[in-house]
């Protein structure tokens, strides 16, 4: 039978003489909005800090092109919503069954729902931009490809609007 070696640590897992909390320093988590704004304008983490971060890096600095693509997706989403409402007014019908639940009611609710769903997806993709999807595709590349897809959709809607008028 093996004996366990004596430990000089207390039950909290800290070495002797180390206080459980640092007194005098305010809890940084209590100032959420300050931390988000400060970290947004002065990011520090551009790469992972630990060995495991090579697989799933969480960083607070992203490429400016990724930011531009995310903003462009949201602008194109608004254009898509406006064109969709125009096309519905001239006789088209909504092909997306999820958006069809919202588009035939209140137009304001439709636009807000569309922006919320798109914005939530864009935020998630940007936050996970360095993660790999299907082991070969970075999530950030999906954001850039969505810009191309939205541009194709807007082009199609413009041509559809021209043919219906």
pLDDT tens across 10-69, in order?
555 566 766 666 566 666 556 666 766 666 666 665 555 555 555 555 555 667 888 899
Q: What is the CA radius of gyration of the chain?
A: 25
Taking 90 as the threshold, does the pLDDT of residue 150 lie above it? yes
Average per-residue pLDDT in the chain?
78
- Domain map (residue ranges) of the chain: 62-164
- Whole-number Å distance between alpha carbons of 87 and 96: 14
- Decide: 106 and 88 in contact? Cβ < 8 Å: no
- Decide: 47 and 61 in contact? Cβ < 8 Å: no
C-alpha torsion 24→28→34→40, nearest 10:
130
pTM of the model: 0.65
pLDDT of residue 72: 96
Burial code of 110-128, b = ≥16 C-beta within 10 A, e = fewer?
bbebbeeebeeebeebbeb
pLDDT of residue 128: 80
């Amino acid at each position: 039978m093996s004996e366990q070696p004596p430990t000089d640590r207390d039950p909290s897992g800290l070495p002797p003489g180390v206080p459980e909390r640092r007194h005098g320093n305010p809890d940084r988590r209590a100032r959420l909005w300050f931390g988000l704004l400060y970290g947004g304008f002065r990011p520090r983490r551009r790469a992972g800090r630990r060995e495991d971060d090579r697989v799933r890096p969480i960083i607070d600095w992203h490429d400016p092109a990724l930011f531009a693509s995310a903003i462009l997706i949201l602008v194109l989403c608004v254009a898509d919503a406006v064109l969709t409402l125009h096309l519905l007014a001239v006789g088209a019908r909504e092909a997306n069954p999820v958006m069809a639940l919202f588009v035939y009611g209140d137009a304001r609710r439709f636009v807000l729902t569309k922006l919320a769903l798109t914005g939530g997806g864009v935020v998630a993709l940007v936050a996970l931009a360095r993660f790999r999807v299907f082991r070969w595709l970075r999530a950030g590349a999906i954001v850039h490809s969505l810009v191309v897809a939205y541009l194709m959709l807007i082009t199609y809607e413009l041509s559809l609007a021209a043919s219906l008028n």
